[in-house]
Homo-oligomer: A and B are copies of this chain.
Amino acid sequence: MSRPVEGTRDSLIKAAIDVFSAKGFEGGSVREITQAAKANQAAINYHFGGKEGLYREVLKASIQAFAELSPLDMGRLAEMDGPQAVEAFIRTQLKALNRRDQLGRFLRIFTWETLSRSEVFTEFLASEKLPIFGVAELIVRKFLPGTTERNDLWIAIFWLLSQIETFIRPDRLERPPYSLKVDDSFVDRLGERLTAMTVAALAAFGADQRRRLSPASHAAPSL
């Protein structure tokens, strides 16, 4: 009774999102995907030209989903102060994580790519800039002086993005040695703690930068 109107192509994409988010691109097999989509094995090659073509479609859908993530709208974030922006950034993504919804699956796909990058994803990164990097840069700039040099700016961006990636697989928290129950109230608490820690860390980074740049701090060695 599931979806008589929905075509094979859409079913395949939907099933691929499930499988790739759970096992990554290499780990997810076309047999598993076609089986979940109740389609023939050859369907992937017919509709997408192969496994990579299907994955390309999944990545497209992922990026579009993130672009439409209104709480992370660049204009809205620009008007907030640093702590507010961090809270919106973290809570939005954590919420998606625990709901284990479509957006959570997309987040997980990106996490797989951070560990072992597929050719398809590398092409994507080369062709178009992911909006998430712009969001992260906008946020960290609220904490850092304008003169922060490039290396430090990128360290901060990389670090901010990694804060969420860490928590993207809640099963890690549910197994030993943590054995925590990841329910709504836990995620709420986690968002609160993580926001406070991230704000404090970025503030410390900014303070460090300002101290380094101020003339008074030149108590450095001679020469």
Q: A94 CB to closest chain B CB, in angstroms?
A: 12
A126 close to B176 (CB less than 8 A): yes
- How distant is the Cα of A205 from the Cα of B204 in the complex, in angstroms? 14
* A208 surroundings in chain B (CB, below 8 A): 193, 196
- How distant is the Cα of A194 from the Cα of B155 in the complex, in angstroms? 9
* A155 surroundings in chain B (CB, below 8 A): 180, 189-190, 193
Interface size in chain A (residues, C-beta < 8 A): 51
B126 close to A186 (CB less than 8 A): no
Q: A104 CB to closest chain B CB, in angstroms?
A: 16
- How distant is the Cα of A133 from the Cα of B179 in the complex, in angstroms? 14
* A115 surroundings in chain B (CB, below 8 A): 111-112, 115, 169
B129 close to A158 (CB less than 8 A): no
Q: A167 CB to closest chain B CB, in angstroms?
A: 8
A196 close to B205 (CB less than 8 A): yes
Closest to A154 in B: B178
A114 close to B172 (CB less than 8 A): yes
Asked, given contacts A114-B172, A115-B169, A151-B180, whether A159 binds B197 with beta carbons under 8 Å apart, the answer is: yes
Q: A26 CB to closest chain B CB, in angstroms?
A: 7
B114 close to A177 (CB less than 8 A): no
Picked from B27, B114, B180, B201, the residue with its CB within 8 Å of the CB of A26 is B27
Contact pattern, A 171-207, Cβ under 8 Å of B = 1, otherwise 0 = 0110111101000001001100110111111111100
The 3 A-B residue pairs with the shortest CB-CB distance, nearest first, are A200-B204, A197-B201, A162-B166
| New A-B pairs, 5, CB < 8 Å, besides A122-B175, A196-B205, A196-B208 | A154-B173, A155-B193, A159-B197, A197-B201, A198-B201
